[in-house]
Amino acid sequence: MNILDLSNSADRHLGRILELQAAQNGDTQYLIADDQRITYAEANATCDRLAAGFKALGVDKGDRVMLF
C-alpha cells in the first residue's frame, strides 16, 4: 500500500502530491488511456512544464486559471 504523509499542510495540494508520488513511484504507471501509458515521473514532468509555461505568462500563486 502506498501511503503519503500529508501532515504538513504545504503537501496537501495536487501538484505536491504528484511530486511526492513521482519521487516514490517514478516508473509506476500513473495513467492508462487506450494504448498510451504514462508513469508518475512523466506526469510530474509534464505538470512541471505546464507550471513553467503559466509562470512565463505571468500567472502567480493564488491566481485563478480556467482551462477549456
pLDDT tens-place string over residues 11-22 = 667 788 889 899
pTM of the complete model: 0.76
pLDDT digits 0-9 by tens, 12-58: 677 888 898 999 999 999 999 999 999 999 999 999 999 999 999 99
Answer yes or no: are the C-beta atoms of 66 and 54 closer than 8 Å: no
40 CB neighbour count, 10 Å cutoff: 21
CA distances, 9 to each of 12, 15, 17, 23 (Å): 5, 13, 11, 19
The torsion of the CA quartet 40, 44, 46, 48, rounded to 10 degrees, works out to 180
